[in-house]
């Protein structure tokens, strides 16, 4: 798949490293420090084997408030510019705002990652006008309320219906089907049971014939199962990453890049001997 002039083979699962540029990373004094800090994090993630860096300035955790446009632009655009200037890597922009997408593309982003699947005003048009891949994520409800009793007929069937609808909208707007990546959206309007059914049956999404992105790193589906805090979720997250890769995941979005790359290397070596 081609991400802004950069070719990436996703037939073996690739690791997307999460770079967080939300306010706490700014607490130690202004933009210079936060950009230097971001570049150091990126350098480490690339050394550890990440092939995509996901940059996001809006918290989408359950209960998060909407971040204003100007604030999101100020957080994200200088960081994307700095990364693309310094490193030869693929930068993904995690945003749902058309203007952030537009400026991120101009700053060198190689992938649009939208947890709202281009449903906000202007997003379809911005993505149609560029040639970048786009990740459409499934979410039931909106971040503030999505964990209040999510309901499905059939979790996979409902998510496939959602993707068929969104892909039709994308294609009608001029976004080629070949540019689309789908993501079941673990934790976005799903109970623990629904998240694990989705992971068990993730391979069924492959019937769409599109690459699959999976993100479960440190999420509540790990923490609530194991009854542990964020910093104790590494082993659970690695297990989820390996299962996602085994069930058709092409890109795995994680915080702990080195550990995930190692875990996936063991999986890949094993799969080499499958008959
Ligand atoms: C996902 C995501 C988040 C995910 C994609 C977190 C931005 C929540 N989760 N993007 N973003 N897929 N594509 O805990 O699962 O990382 S934010």
Query: Domains of the chain (ranges plus CATH)?
Result: 2-271 (3.20.20.20)
User: Ligand 1 pocket, 92 CB below 6 A?
Assistant: no
Q: 66: CA distance to ligand 1 center in Å?
A: 15
State the DSSP code for 170.
H
Residue 229 pLDDT more than 60?
A: yes
Q: 60: CA distance to ligand 1 center in Å?
A: 8
pLDDT at 60: 64
Q: 176: CA distance to ligand 1 center in Å?
A: 23
Partner residues linked to 49 by β-bridges: none
The whole-chain average pLDDT of the chain stands at 94
3-state secondary structure of 56: strand
The residue whose C-alpha atom lies closest to atom 1 belonging to ligand 1 is 215
Higher-pLDDT residue of 28 and 16 is: 16
253 as an active site residue: the answer is: yes
User: Ligand 1 pocket, 189 CB below 6 A?
Assistant: no
Query: Mean pLDDT across the stretch 100-110?
Result: 98
Under the banding of pLDDT at 50, 70 and 90, the label for residue 232 is: very high
For 108-152, how does the pLDDT look when each residue is reduced to its tens digit (9 = 90+)? 999 999 999 999 999 999 999 999 999 999 999 999 999 999 999
Q: Residue 270, class by beta-carbon neighbours within 10 Å (0-12 exposed, 13-18 middle, 19+ buried)?
A: exposed
CA 202 to chain centre: 16
pLDDT at 30: 62
Q: Specify the range with the lowest mean pLDDT, choosing from 29-38, 201-210, 227-236, 252-261.
A: 29-38
What are 104's two structure tokens? 């991120």
Instruction: Give me the percent of the chain exceeding a pLDDT of 70.
Output: 93
Q: Name the one residue in this structure whose structure tokens are 């294609």.
A: 171
Helices within the chain (DSSP H only):
30-47, 69-86, 98-106, 123-129, 155-173, 192-200, 220-226, 234-246, 257-271
For 67-96, how does the pLDDT look when each residue is reduced to its tens digit (9 = 90+)? 689 999 999 999 999 999 999 999 999 999
User: Cβ neighbours of residue 106 under 8 Å, at least 6 residues apart?
Assistant: none
The residue whose C-alpha atom lies closest to atom 12 belonging to ligand 1 is 215
């Amino acid at each position: 798949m081609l991400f802004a002039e950069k070719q990436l083979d996703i037939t073996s699962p690739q690791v997307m490293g999460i770079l967080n540029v939300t306010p706490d990373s700014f607490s130690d004094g202004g933009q210079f420090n936060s950009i230097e800090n971001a570049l150091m994090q990126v350098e480490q993630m690339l050394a550890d084997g990440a092939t995509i860096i996901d940059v996001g300035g809006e918290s989408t955790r359950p209960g998060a408030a909407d971040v204003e446009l100007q604030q999101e632009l100020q957080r994200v655009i200088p960081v994307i510019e700095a990364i693309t200037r310094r490193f030869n890597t693929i930068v993904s922009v995690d945003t749902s705002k058309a203007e952030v997408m537009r400026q991120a593309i101009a700053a060198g982003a190689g992938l649009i990652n939208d947890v709202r699947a281009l449903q906000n005003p202007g997003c379809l048009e911005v993505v149609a006008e560029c040639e970048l891949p786009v990740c459409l994520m499934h979410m039931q409800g909106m971040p503030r309320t999505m964990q209040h009793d999510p309901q499905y007929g059939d979790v996979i069937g409902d998510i496939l219906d959602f993707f068929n609808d969104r892909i039709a909208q994308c294609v009608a707007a001029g976004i080629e089907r070949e540019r689309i990546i789908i993501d079941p959206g673990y934790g976005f309007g799903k109970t623990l049971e629904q998240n694990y059914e989705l992971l068990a049956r993730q391979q069924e999404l492959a019937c769409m014939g599109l690459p699959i992105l999976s993100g479960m790193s440190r999420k509540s589906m790990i923490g609530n199962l194991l009854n542990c805090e964020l910093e104790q979720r590494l082993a659970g997250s690695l297990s989820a990453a390996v299962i996602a890769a085994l069930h058709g995941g092409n890109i795995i979005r994680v915080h702990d890049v080195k550990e995930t790359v190692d875990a996936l290397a063991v999986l890949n070596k094993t799969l080499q001997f499958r008959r």
